[in-house]
Structure 1
Amino acid sequence: MAEVKKIATRESYGNALTELAEQYPNLVVLDADLAAATKTGIFKKAYPERHIDCGIAECNMMGIAAGLATTGKIPFVSSFAMFAAGRAFEQVRNSVGYPKLNVKIGATHAGISVGEDGATHQCCEDLALMRTIPGMVVMNPSDDVEAKAAVKAALDHEGPVYIRFGRLAVPVINDRPDYKFELGKGVVLREGKDVTLVATGLEVSETLAAAEKLAADGIDAKVINIHTIKPLDEELIVAAAKETGKVVTIEEHSVIGGLGSAVCDCLSAKAPTKVLKIGVNDTYGESGPAVELIKKYGLDSEGIYAKVKEFMA
């Protein structure tokens, strides 16, 4: 069996910006002294005149991006999720969101898979924070193919967009001819009749592996990849819930305010269904190897499999 290719979505981000630069001459990239880590350094090397290093001043960077957007530029502001969504929240809300400016936020190093950077940098609240900003599109791609497609979709969308990227290399699962990315539309990766597993980001590949383990036990799981948290594909979620009767959400994010909350908001209003939320359970992360942390917090395929088995029982 061929080895699965793994690429960190932050790499995909830097590559996508560079590949799309010629097609979008108004595209400019800003970073906060983290070009090597966010991989915007790839863009900087190819288009130095269209890259602005704002220094360790994320709040100011958002203001600069807002100003550039008013002149017709399409700024991509880049930093760790903790700084882009956390430190600069007020500027994102008031300088970008309130005037509905065409600013794109590329937030890397999200979730506990930041690993050794520790609890202070492991942002498990960013999706929740960005969901609350009116008009903000929120995306969390699952792999290299989807991350590049998300950047392109953000460029084509008029208005503020937040895209979450990871530090850890993850399996490429969407490298197929029929793959199609549509903003606000979920993707059914596996059909099933017993339970619906709704996953986002790096948890999509782990959920697919968990579904295989469940199948061996006679549990037929439908797997849905939700790359756009907001706007959520409510039609697909409701249809799947009615079809299987049980729903599990899986995310490398707090169980409060992220994908799980978005799905529960939808289902409580349109199709009340029993839901299990798998994620980070109202706790901070800790320092350690990324893969080991994912396992410890029950977010690997084995952890997902065990929780779904218990839920089904």
Structure 2
Amino acid sequence: MSAKKKLKTSSMIASIAGEGQPVTAAPFGHALVEAAEKNPKIVGMTADLGKYTDLHIFAQAYPDRYYQMGMAEQLLMMAGAGMAREGFIPFVTTYSVFASRRAYDFICLAIAEEKLNVKIIGGLPGLTTGYGPSHQATEDVAIFRGMPNLTIIDPCDAIDIEQSVQAMADFDGPVYLRLLRGKVPRVLDRFDDYRFEIGKAKRLMNGKDALIISSGLMTTRAIEAADELKEKGIEAAVMHCATIKPLDTEAILAEVRSNTDRPVFVAENHSVVGGLGESIASLLMKEGVSVKFHQIGLPDEFLDAGALPTLHDRYGISTREVVKTVAKNVSVEEEIKPTI
């Protein structure tokens, strides 16, 4: 038997931080505590997933404003609707798969149709767990995009989450947020003028050769990819679309139209069906904007179980794969130096 120690890798990795990357632990939980200090109407509710959606931080700070509903997502949504009707601001947490698949009708009729002030926080969005199709919410945005009155937020890092919590608390209406939990990377620190705003897309980096429009963790990957592409002589712009619905059509159209020679890449931690990519493609087509267009996202299939780094490479959403996709679809004219 080999004397070498066998390395083990967990498939239930919810943190997507790279080695040595600055992180903040449980940014959602701590931000909600701060918001609750200012607003006594905020309550926290969960379906037996307080620890796994970072709501346990809120529970420790405000045990009398924390409600554990058990493994009953439909009940959780109905209870949240009831709390909203009584004037509270419920932040209800579960996994994205359970909110979008299991509790859809209850969210639709009890919350969205009535425009109730319920904030739905979905953990493990897209491919942020290796547990397989039972836990991978690869189609949650597609499911929720068709629901009237529902705002959809896909933050990219701890800073985005911290700022979005207060923005949601101040916003009157139902919201669905795709939560990155645990040790969440901090990548927006380098952009001094960045500020999260509901319904706004923000250009983070300039570039003449390609435009990457992204949301969620893929904005982190887009920034990293842009840095690597620059070393290859490719200047890629990055636009972060933290709000998927309503889409910031004005900002997106202005950015694309500013240089239609650049190919546009939409990168998302979601199926290529029904998400941000198709939303932007539809916008460009309706507005008559002609550009080379590419989607970087998860395939239209049930994904494998396994370790996240392996799966991210396999399905094309790792930084390395984003660099490859952009590089092979961008033509950069070499500078011709005069001969003497």
Matching residue within 284, 293, 311 for 1:275: 293
Contact 1:193 1:243 in 2 (8 A): no
Q: Which has the higher helix share?
A: 1
Equivalence map 1:125-204=2 (5 Å): 125-167=139-181, 169-175=183-189, 177-204=192-219
Q: Cα deviations across residues 32-89 of structure 1 (Å, max 9, x unaligned)?
A: 0111111111111111111111110001110111111111100111000001122101
TM-score (normalised: structure 1): 0.94
Larger Rg: 2
Q: Corresponding residue for 1:264?
A: 281
SS in 2 for 1:133: coil
Q: Corresponding residue for 1:238?
A: 253
Contact 1:195 1:244 in 2 (8 A): no
SS in 1 for 2:176: strand
Contact 2:28 2:162 in 1 (8 A): yes
Shift of 1:23: 0.6
**2:322 counterpart of 1:307:** no
Q: Corresponding residue for 1:122?
A: 136
Bigger Cα displacement from structure 2, 16-25 vs 170-179: 170-179
Relative to structure 1, is the Cα distance of residues 14 and 130 closer, same or farther in structure 2, using a 3 angstrom cutoff?
same
Contact 2:156 2:219 in 1 (8 A): yes
Q: Distance in 2 between matches of 1:114 and 1:292?
A: 12
**2:298 counterpart of 1:284:** no
Report the residue type matching 2:271 in the other structure: S
Shift of 1:291: 2.2
SS in 1 for 2:142: helix
Matching residue within 97, 112, 117 for 2:112: 97
Q: Distance in 2 between matches of 1:101 and 1:268?
A: 33
Report the residue type matching 1:155 in the other structure: A
Q: Corresponding residue for 2:23?
A: 6
**2:34 counterpart of 1:16:** no
Q: Distance in 1 between matches of 2:290 and 2:212?
A: 16
Q: Distance in 2 between matches of 1:179 and 1:207?
A: 16
TM-score (normalised: structure 2): 0.87
Q: How many equivalent pairs are there?
A: 309
Shift of 1:203: 1.0
Q: Distance in 2 between matches of 1:286 and 1:14?
A: 30
Q: Distance in 2 between matches of 1:98 and 1:272?
A: 36
Relative to structure 1, is the Cα distance of residues 7 and 294 closer, same or farther in structure 2, using a 3 angstrom cutoff?
farther
Q: What RMSD in Å do the two structures reach over aligned CA positions?
A: 1.6
Q: Distance in 2 between matches of 1:291 and 1:106?
A: 24
Shift of 1:292: 2.1
Q: Distance in 2 between matches of 1:64 and 1:107?
A: 17
Q: Corresponding residue for 1:112?
A: 127
Q: Corresponding residue for 1:215?
A: 230
Structure 1 vs Structure 2: percent identity of aligned residues? 37
Runs of 4+ with deviation above 3 angstroms: 167-170
Relative to structure 1, is the Cα distance of residues 122 and 7 closer, same or farther in structure 2, using a 3 angstrom cutoff?
farther
Contact 2:92 2:118 in 1 (8 A): yes
Equivalence map 1:244-259=2 (5 Å): 244-245=259-260, 246-259=263-276
Shift of 1:167: 4.2
Q: Distance in 2 between matches of 1:265 and 1:169?
A: 35
Q: Corresponding residue for 2:220?
A: 205
Q: Distance in 2 between matches of 1:6 and 1:22?
A: 24
Q: Distance in 1 between matches of 2:51 and 2:215?
A: 26
Structure 1 gap segments, 5+ residues each: none
